[in-house]
Structure 1
Amino acid sequence: MSHNGPGRTHDLAHLAHVELLTPRPEESLHFFTEVMGLEVSGQEGESVYLRGWDDYEYHTLKLTAARTNGMGHCAFRAGSPEALERRVAAIEAQGLGIGWQGGDQGHGPAYAFHTPDGHRAELYYETRWYEADETTRPALKNQASRFPARGANLRRIDHLNLLASRVTPMREFFVDTLGTLLSEQIVFDDGSEKAAWFSMNSKSYDLAVSEDHSGARGRLHHLTYAVDSREDVLRAADICLEHGVFIETGPHKHSINQTFFLYVYEPGGNRFEIASAGARLILAPDWKVVVWNEAERRKGQAWGLQTIASFHTHGTPVVTGETP
C-alpha cells in the first residue's frame, strides 16, 4: 500500500528552522556552539538564534530556555508569496490555523498553525539572509560564511522528525494540504502506517513523521544537521566522546533513505542527529513511493544493527516512564 497523493507542488521550499526548548540553556548553548560548531546570529529574551556555516538564512535553530524540553515550533519557507497564500488557505480550510504572527528576528510575517497531532508550526516567505561580518566572511562569495573549524562543523539544517500519535492524518496533511511529496513510508502487515518521509525539493526528505509508541501527541523525535561526509560523522562521534556527550546509537546507516547517522542527546534531553550531506536526490516527476513492510523494518539498520530500543520510546517532552 502506498499513498502517492497529488505530487510535490514546491509550494514549500524547505525546512527553515526549528525552535528547541531546553531546561539547561547554558549547557545546550555550549553543546550547539562549541561541540557542534554552530554560529550565533543573535539573541532576544530567553532565545538564542543559531545557524550552520552554510545556512543562507539568519537562523535555522532557535534555542529557547524553558521549564521542559521538546519543540516550541518548526517553520517552513514557502516557495513564493503566492505559494504561501495557497497553503494558508488550505490550512484554514482544515481548521488548523492559528493566525498571522508579526515575524521574528530571522523572518517576516509568518502564518502559525497546528499539525493534526498538535505540533505548532509556521509558514513564511519573507526572510532575512545572513550577512557575514569580518570574522565570518568567506573567501568564496557563493558560500554563506567561513568554515568555523570548531567542533563538528555542522554545515546546514537537514531534516526534522516529528512523533505523532497517528501517522495517517499527518501523512494526509503534509501531502494533501501542504503539497509535499511522500518519498518513503513504513506500512505494517495490518495496514497501519508507522512512519512517513516527505520531500519538499530535490532532497529525498526534509521531514519525517514516526508513530509515538507512548500514544502522546505533538512530540519531537529528533532534529538533524548535515556535515559533508561520512568521515565527518565519524569525527563528530569522536568529538562527542571527548566532550562527554551521550551517544544513543551510531555511527551507522539507515536502510530507509540511506542516511548515515549519529544520534546523541543534547544537554536539554532532546535527541539530535548528525548526518552526512550525501542524501539521495529525487528528480523524477513521477516518483513512486518506496514502501517498507513489517518484516523489512524488523531487520534493523542497513548493515544489520538492530535499532536500539530507546529510538522507539524516547521523545521530548519526556513522558512518564521515559528517561531524559
Structure 2
Amino acid sequence: MTRGYDPGPRIAHAGGINIGTPDLERSLWFFRDLFGMEVTAEDDGVAYLRGYQEWDHHCLVLTQQDEAIINAYSFRVARPQDVELFHEQLTAEGLDVRVLPAGSETGRGEAIRFLIPGGGHPIELFHDMARPQPPAGLRSRLPGNSSRRRGLGVRRLDHLNVMTSPATINQAEAWLRESLGFRRREFLTLPQAPGLILASWLSVNSKLHDIAIGAAPNGQDAQFHHVAFAIENFHDMLTAADQLKDLDIQIDAGPGKHGIGQAMYLYLRDPGSGHRIELYSGGREFFEPDWEPIEWKADNPIGLTWYGDLPSVDPQTSSYVTTTPSAGLDLPHRRT
C-alpha cells in the first residue's frame, strides 16, 4: 500500500540562528563562558557555537557587524533531497529563493534562503551539517554529549520566536503551517476578535514549538522576540537567575512557569548585541497525531505565567515586549 509513497519535503527541527552583534567579544563571553557553549569554529569576525548535547557543527552563529539584527533563522530538513524539493515548491509559489552554497556557513552544506510571506523573516533551510568531535579537553565521558557540561549548562537550541504586524500575522502563521508543514499546538486570540491570532506556537515534532509567531506591538514586520536555549531542569534555572543577577545581566522576565506549554522560563539580554535570549526548561510534549490546538484568550494571564511575576506587557515601559529587527533577503555586510 505504501510502496513508492513520498511524503514530500519536511522540516525536521529548528536548526539555528545567525545573530548580528556589534560587540562580538562580549557576545562570545556571554554564550561561551557564561552559557558554557562550545565554539566549534571562528573565522574572520564570525563564531560558531553549539550546546553540550548537540552534535551538529553549530546552532548559533555570531556575526560581528555594525547593526544588531538577526541575519537568519534556520531549520534542518528531514532528507538531503528536501532542500531541492523545497526550492522547487517555494519557487512555484512565487517566492524569491536564493541558493547558498555549501560552506556559506562553516560546516553546513547547501541551503536555500527566502522570506516568510506576510512576515518578512529570512529563513534558511539546510540538511547537511558536519559533526565535529570536541577537543580532547572538552570531551565528556557520556557518549551522548558532544562536550562536558560547563557554565550555565546550555544543552541545545530549543526554539525561535518571531513577530510580525497584526495585519499580516494570520497570513504568515497559515503559510508556516500550509507550506512548511508546522503544526499548531497552542494559540492565543483576543476575546473580542477570535479570528485574529495574537500568537501561535508551532512544531514539527513533540515540542511545543520549533517556531512561535506573534503580533508585534510596534506594528512592524520581520521582528525578532527571542531565541530559546534548553537547560536541564528547574534548579538550573534558579541557579542561572542567581548568577545572572549578580553579573548585572539584564533580565526581562522570570524566572517563572508558562501556562502555555508549561515550561519554566527566564528572559535576558545578550550584552553584546542586545537581543533577547530565553533559558527554557521542561514543558509539555505533544505525541498525539490528532492533536487539537488549545486556544487561549488574551485576558487569561496564566497563559503567560502560571507562577512567577507576570511580565510587564505595557508597550510604553516594558522591556519584555520590545523586539529587534531581522535582515532582508540579502545577507547584511559584516564587519571584519
Calculate the TM-score normalised by the size of structure 2. 0.86
Distance 1:133 1:257, change over 3 A: same
Question: Is 1:269–2:274 an aligned residue pair?
Answer: yes
Alignment RMSD (CA, Å): 2.0
Q: Distance in 1 between matches of 2:8 and 2:157?
A: 22
How far the C-alpha of 1:299 sits from its partner, in A, is: 7.0
In the alignment, which residue of structure 2 is the partner of 1:145? 147
User: Residue 94 in 1 paired to residue 96 in 2?
Assistant: no
Q: Do the aligned residues in 1 keep the contact of 2:53 with 2:144 (CA within 8 Å)?
A: no
Supply the AA of the counterpart residue of 1:59.
H
* Contact map agreement 2:164 2:223 (CA 8 A) in 1: yes
Correspondence for 1:315 among 305, 323, 328? 323
Gaps of 5+ in 1: 1-7, 319-324
Q: Displacement of 1:248 after TM fit? A: 1.1
Taking the aligned partners of 1:294 and 1:61, their CA distance within structure 2 comes to 32
1:156 and 2:156 matched: yes
Higher alpha-carbon deviation: 285-294 or 94-103: 94-103
Whole-Å separation in 1 of the counterparts to 2:257 and 2:147: 29
Moved more, 258-267 or 289-298: 289-298
Is residue 213–residue 312 contact of structure 1 (8 Å, CA) maintained in 2?
no
Displacement of 1:10: 8.1
Indicate how the Cα distance of structure 1 residues 299 and 17 shifts in structure 2: closer, same or farther if over 3 A, else same.
closer
Q: In structure 2, how many angstroms separate the alpha carbons of the residues matched to 1:10 and 1:98? A: 16
Within a 5 Å distance, the mapping from 1:1-324 to structure 2 comes to 11-103=10-102, 104-116=105-117, 117-148=119-150, 150=151, 152-165=152-165, 166-188=168-190, 189-190=192-193, 191-267=195-271, 268-276=273-281, 278-297=282-301, 300-303=304-307, 305-309=309-313, 310=318, 313-317=321-325
Which digits, 9 at most, give the CA deviation of each residue in 1:29-52, with x for residues without a partner?
A: 111111111111111222111111
In the TM superposition, what is the alpha-carbon distance from 1:235 to its structure 2 partner? 0.6
| In structure 1, distance between residues paired with 2:79 and 2:169 | 28
**Runs of 5+ unmatched residues, structure 2:** 1-6, 327-336
Cα deviation, residue 91, structure 1: 1.9
Partner deviation per Cα, 1:95-125 (whole Å, 9 max, x = no partner): 2232211132121000111112211111111
Answer whether contact 1:159 1:225 (CA < 8 A) is retained: yes
SS of residue matched to 1:263: strand
CA distance in structure 2 between the aligned counterparts of 1:304 and 1:127, rounded to whole angstroms: 39
Letter paired with 1:212: A
What CA distance in whole angstroms lies between the structure 1 residues aligned with 2:126 and 2:303?
40
Distance 1:258 1:153 in 2: 21
Q: What's 1:4 paired with?
A: none
How many correspondences in the alignment? 308
Q: Is the 8 A contact 1:69 1:269 kept in 2?
A: yes
**For structure 1, which segment, 261-270 or 134-143, has the greater mean C-alpha deviation from structure 2 after superposition?**
134-143
Measured in 1, the distance between the counterparts of 2:34 and 2:142 equals: 25
Separation (CA, whole Å) in 2 of partners of 1:311 and 1:170? 25
How far, CA to CA, are the matches of 2:106 and 2:303 in structure 1? 45
CA contact (8 A) 2:36 2:149 kept: no
1:300 Cα shift?
4.8
Moved more, 72-81 or 295-304: 295-304
Shift of 1:304: 7.0
Q: Compute the displacement of 1:298 (Å).
A: 7.8
Q: TM-score, normalised by structure 1?
A: 0.89
Q: What does the per-residue CA deviation read over 1:259-309, in whole Å, with 9 as the maximum and x for residues that have no partner?
A: 200011111210011111x23211111110111123225875113743323
Cα distance in 2 between the residues matched to 1:70 and 1:236? 26
Q: Give the aligned residue type for 2:269.
A: Y
- 1:11 is displaced (CA, Å) by 1.0
Partner SS, residue 96 of structure 1: coil
Distance 1:101 1:84 in 2: 11
Q: CA deviation at 1:193?
A: 0.8
Q: Which string of whole-angstrom CA distances, capped at 9 and with x for unpartnered residues, describes residues 210-257 of structure 1?
A: 111111111210011011001101111111112211111100011111
